[in-house]
């Protein structure tokens, strides 16, 4: 039997040995730490496990999601429960969809120097800088479209030299777009009615009883079909 290769990592400044090939999250838990905050789905893409790390002999601070990044020998790790970024307080019922509304609530957006650090930091490969530029132009619809898949992990804000809170500003853009700009969807109204009438009760029951691996396979097939339709 081949012996498991161990690597050294430093968690909150303390040295630990963990098996090679573990994700950062699994390495932290293997070392004996109990993650009660800063973790969500653990196997999907919820954006909860933001992590700051530094590689061996490298001065650069990096950020990533702990569930999808593999630990490396000599890596220094710091798990953060959330990104402490300020969020504007507003009543969406009183917000109007005018061009400069996002800048009114997040004036730091105007400080963007187009360095693209935010885009490089995004674990979803979203065009973060592009949607910030759309906000500066007052194009709320474009900002909402480009940020649609954001999971609010906050890594863009953690790396931004202009201290922009990209993900909070994008959430406001999507809320404004959904409430004031997007046209009502007749298909959505139809689907809600079908759900209320119990049309999908049997299918939902089957999904709840489905084995995990079969459900994963079904989900991946659905994602591939959706991508084909978009292309």
Residue 93 covered by a domain: no
Tell me whether strands 50-54 and 6-11 are parallel, antiparallel or unpaired: unpaired
Count of the separate structural domains present in the chain: 3
Residue 33 covered by a domain: yes
CA distance 77 to 75: 6
- Of the candidates 110, 100, 101, 156, the residue with the CA atom closest to the CA atom of residue 133: 110
Residue 204 covered by a domain: yes
Average pLDDT over residues 7-14: 92
Axis-axis angle for helices 128-137, 166-176 (nearest 10):
60
pTM of the model: 0.76
- Of the candidates 29, 21, 16, the residue with the CA atom closest to the CA atom of residue 2: 21
Average pLDDT over residues 200-226: 90
Q: Residue 14 has what pLDDT?
A: 93
Q: Residue 1 has what pLDDT?
A: 61
pLDDT interval class at 225 (50, 70, 90): confident
Residue 16 covered by a domain: yes
Beta-bridge partner residues of 15: 10
Task: Report the CATH number that the domain containing residue 118 is assigned in CATH.
Answer: 1.10.1060.10
Check pLDDT > 70 for residue 135.
yes
Domain range enclosing 219: 196-230
Average pLDDT over residues 70-82: 89
Give yes or no: residues 110 and 162 share one domain. Answer: yes
Residue 29 covered by a domain: yes
């Amino acid at each position: 039997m081949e012996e498991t290769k161990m690597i050294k990592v430093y968690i909150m400044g303390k040295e630990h040995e963990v098996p090679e090939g573990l994700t950062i999250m699994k390495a932290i838990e293997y070392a004996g730490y109990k993650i009660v905050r800063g973790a969500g789905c653990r196997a999907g893409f919820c954006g909860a496990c933001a992590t700051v790390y530094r590689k061996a002999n490298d001065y650069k601070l990096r950020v990533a999601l702990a569930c999808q990044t593999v630990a490396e020998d000599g890596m220094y790790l710091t798990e953060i429960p959330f990104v402490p970024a300020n969020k504007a307080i507003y009543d969406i019922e009183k917000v109007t969809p005018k061009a400069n509304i996002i800048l009114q609530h997040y004036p730091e957006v105007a400080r963007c120097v187009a360095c693209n650090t935010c885009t490089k930091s995004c674990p979803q490969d979203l065009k973060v800088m592009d949607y910030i530029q759309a906000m500066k132009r007052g194009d709320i619809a474009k900002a909402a479209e480009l940020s649609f898949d954001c999971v609010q992990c906050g890594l863009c804000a953690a790396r931004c030299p202009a201290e922009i809170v990209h993900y909070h500003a994008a959430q406001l853009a999507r809320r404004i777009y959904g409430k004031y700009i997007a046209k009502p969807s007749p298909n959505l109204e139809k689907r809600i009615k079908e759900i209320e009438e119990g049309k999908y009760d049997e299918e939902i029951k089957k999904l709840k009883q489905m084995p995990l691996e079969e459900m994963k396979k079904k989900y991946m097939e659905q994602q591939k079909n959706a991508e084909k339709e978009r292309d």
